[in-house]
Amino acid sequence: MALRKVAPMGQPSDSDLRLLRIYRKVVECGGFSAAEVELSISRAAISMAMNDLETRLGLRLCQRGRSGFALTNEGSEVYQLSLQLLAAVEGFRTQVNGLHAQLKGELNIGITDNLVTMPEMHITHALNALKEKGPDVRINIRMIPPSDIELAVLDGRLHTGVIPNLKTLPGLDYLTLYEETSRLYCSTEHPLFHANNITEEDLPHYDAVVPAYAQTPEIKAMHEPLKASASATDREGVAFLILSGSYIGYLPTHYAERWVRDGQMKALPPNKWHYFTGYSAITRKGGFSNLVLETYFDELNKLISTSPNTNT
């Protein structure tokens, strides 16, 4: 089979960037129909844009038709490359705006799940201060796993992220935010809810839900005495199973507080069944600085320096 002869792609133009933005939205929406609403253009216009982009690149990016929408191998690679290109373009725009000492542009931040209930609302207050100083700043939050946040910060798709302190990567800088406490909980429907004298020998007799996400060796050791008969990929999943009345499991105290307050859940005595998890804000080491990101971190540092303590 003869290979296609395609002229090398020249310098991307504004038109190319527009087509790539449409393509990104189509991929993220999973097809043309869903992207219509997001893009506020017709399906026919989207189809024409996709045809133009495929012609421009000399590649077949996706399969579409009655069988549904699916990316080709080349289409998947172009999507990943487009994310990097568009992030670089936005980074350039943000930095140029910074030359005018005006807070304009975007802050793309990745956050691990269920941190909004932290009593020390460093992230929330810093974002509020940033918005007050730069009303035109666009804040984009992605709730994704810690490993995805690290990769996205490293390759420039995210400006910053908030992750648990599980490991350190040489390409990232870390700013310690706070430390959360997790305790062992059961629900009001569980046999241990009214028990007072619980020993470590009692724990293996009861089904427990354990995390399916990364943990430090110290936290893993806290789960070892448990009868691991269920798992969850996030804290909400752990809470679901605890509230079913059939499982015990560890949750952060700030996240469990709503159910404790309502009498639906309680931490098992004694208090020795607990552990701590530190959280840090990360940025790419040696990455391009911009006024939006600098202002956000200035506010974070102010909040950290005035916080009475870092434990919850």
Long-range contacts of 57-62 (CB under 8 A, 24+ apart): 57/9, 58/4, 58/6, 58/7, 58/9, 61/23, 62/26, 62/27
- Half-sphere CA count of 247, side-chain side, radius 13 A: 22
pLDDT of residue 8: 63
| Burial class of residue 72, CB neighbours in 10 A (0-12, 13-18, 19+) | middle
Contact 247, 208 (CB under 8 A): yes
Q: What is the DSSP letter of 58?
A: T
Partnered with residue 227 across adjacent β-strands are 207
In angstroms, the first-to-last Cα distance of the chain is 65
Contacts of 161 (CB under 8 A, 6+ apart): 109, 110, 111, 146, 149, 150, 152, 153, 281, 282
Partnered with residue 306 across adjacent β-strands are none
**Dihedral, CA atoms, 180, 309, 289, 136, nearest 10 degrees?**
90
State pTM to two decimals. 0.65
CA distance 311 to 181: 7
pLDDT tens string for the chain (312 positions)?
343 555 566 677 888 889 999 999 999 888 888 888 888 889 899 889 999 998 888 889 988 777 678 889 998 999 999 999 888 888 887 777 666 666 788 999 999 877 877 777 889 999 999 999 989 899 999 998 899 999 999 998 999 999 999 999 999 999 999 899 999 999 999 999 998 888 889 999 999 999 988 888 999 999 999 999 999 998 999 999 999 999 999 999 999 999 999 999 999 987 789 999 999 999 999 877 688 999 999 999 999 888 765 443
pLDDT of residue 117: 77
pLDDT of residue 2: 43
Domains of the chain: 14-84 (1.10.10.10), 179-277 (3.40.190.290)
> Strands 62-63, 249-252: parallel, antiparallel or unpaired by DSSP?
unpaired
Contact 293, 96 (CB under 8 A): no
Q: Which helix (H) or strand (E) holds 140?
A: strand 138-143
Q: In sequence order, what E strands does 48-120 have?
A: 62-63, 70-71, 106-111
Angle at 163 between CA 125 and CA 102, to 5 degrees: 45
CA distance 157 to 164: 19
